Structure 1
Amino acid sequence: MNDASVQSMIFGKTGGHSSTIIDIAWSPNGRYLATTSYDKTVIIWQVDGA
């Protein structure tokens, strides 16, 4: 089973990958950032504008 979740993120807070991030991509609307890591996870981050 694959787990996918959307997390609200404020950069600099804890929580996220447990290993080096190897790729990132922005969504077309700029509201989400996808990251993948050597820990074999993909996280979709919801980015709040400042």
Structure 2
Amino acid sequence: MATETMSRCLACGFEAPAGADAWSSVQHPPLGEMTQCPECGSTETRQL
């Protein structure tokens, strides 16, 4: 049975499947593309 990997915003607690369209992204020149929380704009996210 496959389980979906979830990600959580550490700033506001927003959760959605990792890589889902629910997540935004932002370009950070030295780091490249980063996942961004659509609720609060934080890039502090972790996979659960």
TM range (shorter): 0.3 to 0.5
